[in-house]
């Protein structure tokens, strides 16, 4: 994974763990992590373009933004509930999907060689 993708993943995992098992303090900066992940995702799309291997990460960003008002409303707290367990299960699944997809279908491609020399470097005689 590239650095910007890894930062997005770390922001989401941290947020999900804080929502599921943390203090749930409304004044905490952790509550803004979904918006940081969304900003990282948008910048990733602008810089590198979308990649199909990261569809699970994109869906998790969208889901965390969509559920943000519901999870932070009033006195509603998630404490080891069914939703918290679903978040905890989604983290390893997301990590496994990202690693497996990147391993089975690599993204890189080799640049074509330029010039008449097979190695791509000019050869010069020593004088």
pLDDT of residue 48: 86
Within a domain: 110:
no
The pLDDT averaged over each successive group of 10 residues in the chain (127 residues) is 84 81 70 90 89 84 80 53 70 78 67 60 64
CA dihedral 31, 33, 36, 40 (to 10 degrees): -160
Task: State the pTM of this model.
Answer: 0.58
Within a domain: 107:
no
Within a domain: 112:
no
Within a domain: 89:
yes
Q: Is 60 exposed, middle or buried (0-12, 13-18, 19+ CB in 10 A)?
A: buried
How many domains does the chain fold into? 1
Within a domain: 78:
yes
In which domain, by residue range, is 39 found?
10-101
pLDDT of residue 40: 92
């Amino acid at each position: 994974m590239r650095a910007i993708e890894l930062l997005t993943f770390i922001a989401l995992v941290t947020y999900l763990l804080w929502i599921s098992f943390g203090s749930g303090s409304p004044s905490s900066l952790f509550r803004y992590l979904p918006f940081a992940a969304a900003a990282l995702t948008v910048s990733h799309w602008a810089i590198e373009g979308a990649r199909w291997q990261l569809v699970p990460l994109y869906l998790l960003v969208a889901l965390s933004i969509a559920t943000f008002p519901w999870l932070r409303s009033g006195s509603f707290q998630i404490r080891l509930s069914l939703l918290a367990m679903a978040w905890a299960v989604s983290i390893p699944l997301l990590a496994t999907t990202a690693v497996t997809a990147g391993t089975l279908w690599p993204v890189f491609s080799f640049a074509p060689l330029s010039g008449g020399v097979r190695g791509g470097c000019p050869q010069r005689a020593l004088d």
